[in-house]
Every structure is written in C-alpha cells, then in structure tokens.
C-alpha cells in the first residue's frame, strides 16, 4: 500500500492523489469524485466521526499537501523533552504516521464516493462505468452478460464487503476477483443500484424468464420441475397483478421477455 504510494510519489509527483487512487489495482470500481464536491463541507457532514484527522485527509485528497511532507506532530513534544533528535526514530514515526494518514484518506474518499454516486453527476459517471462493464457481468448464463452494479448490505464502515447486483435476476454476486472481495461495501452504499435504475429506467433489462432444471437423460427431476412450476405460478400471479395496475410487462423494460423454448 505505502510502497505504491512512495513509488508514484517519487516517480511522478505531478499526479493528482485521486488519479493515483483510481489507478491503483483493486480500485477499478471507483469513479472520480468532483473536486468541488469534496471541498463543499456540507457534503462531508458527519464523516469526521468515521475518519481520523479529517482535515489532513481532505488536504491529501485535494492535493493541498503532499504525503511526503507530512510529519508526525503528535510525538514531537515528547521527543524534544526526552532526548536529542534521533533522525532515524523520527523518520520511522513519520512513516508510520504517513501510512496512517494515507489509510485515512482512502477511507474518506470511499465514504465521500458513496455519497457522491447517488447524486446526478455521480450517477452519470457510474453510468459510463456500467456501460463499459467495469463492474463485470453476471455469471448466470440466462442473464446473458447483464452488467453488474456495486452494492453493499450495510452503510456502516467495515461491516460488509462490496457485492455486485444483477438487474436481470435481481440477485447479488460476489466479485469475481479476490482483490475486490475485500473492498468495503460502505464505499458504495446500499441505495446506489436502486437509485441508479430509478434515474435510468431505460436501463432496466427485459427480464429473461428462462430457468434451469436438472435432467437425467432428458427427463427433468420431479422435485425440481415441480418447484419450477410453482415459481412459474408465482410469476403469473405477479404478471396478473401488474396488468391489473395497467403496467405493461411484455418485452418492455422491467417486463419479461416472451418465453423462448427452454433449451436446458
């Protein structure tokens, strides 16, 4: 973590913190948050309880100060009282402090990100990422590579890793790559996919209603096919209800694709 920071710090010091952060491996799900959004203190309400030394973290994110310039000021008094300047000792403590602040800045960016992506501009940026398939595609065969969206089960920090939501089967999946499976869900929030599809209703897919049933020599296993029939009944009841409310369901966004012949 800190190694990468040091490296980019020295090799390319003109790079912005946010650009560096977005380019880091494992952070592919994030979009870039506007500078104006971060500097508006109203948007950060309540975050000072979650993030250590928030002012410094903001300065880091907005490139008002550089990580290499940060020095551990907490211990300075003690050190002056105790003994003479021990450069190595001080440097070690500074490094620890920098790591801590870098971590803090990451958390802060993530939490701001969770708020930002449910604003109009943020949704627009996530739309681009969705279109590019940056969050991956649904592994379920019948979803026909429906792009996924990040979502969390909990808005609190450190409670749940990020999950991916498929709008076709309306289910949650774990990220394919392990480097995403430890990403905190709080950086995306619980409301994001719902907000996304409320904003872009044209992106709600036509649900594919094909289902799978285990077979032996072409004959479906009874228990499974019975359950599928019952689920079909539930679906028909829902369609009847939707139609009663005057909602179109045939081959339209949010509706159901007309049934193809079941292949498996």
Using CB under 8 A, list all residues that contact other proteins.
139-142, 163, 165, 167-174, 176, 190-191, 193-195, 197-198, 201, 204, 207, 211-218, 221, 224, 226-227, 229-238, 240-245, 247, 250-251, 253-256, 258, 263-264
Q: Would you tell me how many other CB atoms lie within 10 Å of the CB of residue 192?
A: 20
Q: How far is the CB of 70 from other proteins (least distance, A)?
A: 36
Closest among 191, 212, 195, 213 to 204, alpha carbons compared = 195
Beta bridge partners of 166: 148, 171
Whole-angstrom CA distances from 68 to 9, 85, 196, 204, 262 are 8, 19, 38, 46, 61
Q: Which one, 75 or 255, has the nearer CB to other proteins? A: 255
CA distance 10 to 210: 55
Q: Which one, 1 or 247, has the nearer CB to other proteins? A: 247
Q: How far is the CB of 180 from other proteins (least distance, A)?
A: 12
Q: How far is the CB of 157 from other proteins (least distance, A)?
A: 17
CA distance 229 to 214: 14
Q: Which one, 58 or 166, has the nearer CB to other proteins? A: 166
CA distance 72 to 95: 8
Q: How far is the CB of 250 from other proteins (least distance, A)?
A: 6
Q: How far is the CB of 195 from other proteins (least distance, A)?
A: 6
Q: Which one, 106 or 193, has the nearer CB to other proteins? A: 193
Whole-angstrom CA distances from 16 to 58, 68, 232 are 13, 14, 53
Q: Which one, 105 or 185, has the nearer CB to other proteins? A: 185
Closest among 193, 189, 191 to 205, alpha carbons compared = 193
Q: How far is the CB of 104 from other proteins (least distance, A)?
A: 26
Q: Which one, 90 or 253, has the nearer CB to other proteins? A: 253
Q: Match 């369901």 to its residue by tokens.
A: 249
Residue 207, both tokens: 């649900």
Answer for the pair 105, 60: CB distance below 8 angstroms, yes or no: yes
Q: How far is the CB of 183 from other proteins (least distance, A)?
A: 15
Q: How far is the CB of 77 from other proteins (least distance, A)?
A: 45
Query: What stretch of H or E contains 164?
Result: strand 163-166
Q: Which one, 147 or 193, has the nearer CB to other proteins? A: 193
Q: Which one, 179 or 243, has the nearer CB to other proteins? A: 243
Answer for the pair 161, 183: CB distance below 8 angstroms, yes or no: yes
């Amino acid at each position: 973590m800190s190694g990468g920071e040091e490296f980019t710090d020295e090799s390319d010091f003109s790079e912005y913190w946010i650009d560096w952060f977005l380019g880091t491996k494992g952070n592919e799900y994030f979009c870039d948050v506007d500078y104006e959004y971060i500097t508006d203190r109203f948007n950060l309400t309540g975050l000072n309880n979650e993030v250590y030394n928030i002012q410094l973290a903001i300065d880091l994110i907005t490139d008002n100060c550089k990580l290499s310039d940060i020095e551990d000021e907490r211990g300075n008094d003690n050190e002056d009282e105790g003994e003479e300047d021990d450069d190595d000792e001080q440097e070690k403590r500074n490094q620890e402090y920098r790591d801590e602040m870098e971590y803090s800045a990451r958390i802060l960016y993530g939490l701001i990100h969770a708020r930002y992506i449910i604003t109009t501009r943020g949704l627009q940026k996530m739309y681009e990422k969705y279109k590019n398939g940056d969050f991956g595609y649904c592994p379920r065969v019948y979803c026909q590579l429906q792009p996924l969206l990040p979502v969390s089960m909990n808005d609190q920090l450190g409670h749940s890793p990020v999950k991916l939501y498929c709008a076709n089967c309306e289910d949650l999946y774990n990220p394919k790559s392990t480097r995403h499976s430890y990403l905190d869900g709080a950086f995306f929030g619980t409301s994001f996919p719902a907000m996304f599809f409320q904003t872009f209703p044209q992106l709600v897919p036509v649900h594919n209603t094909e289902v799978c049933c285990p077979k032996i020599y072409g004959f479906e296993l009874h228990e499974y096919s019975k359950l599928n029939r019952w689920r079909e009944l539930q679906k028909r009841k829902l369609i009847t209800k939707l139609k009663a409310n005057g909602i179109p369901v045939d081959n339209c966004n949010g509706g159901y694709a007309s049934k193809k012949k079941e292949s498996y």
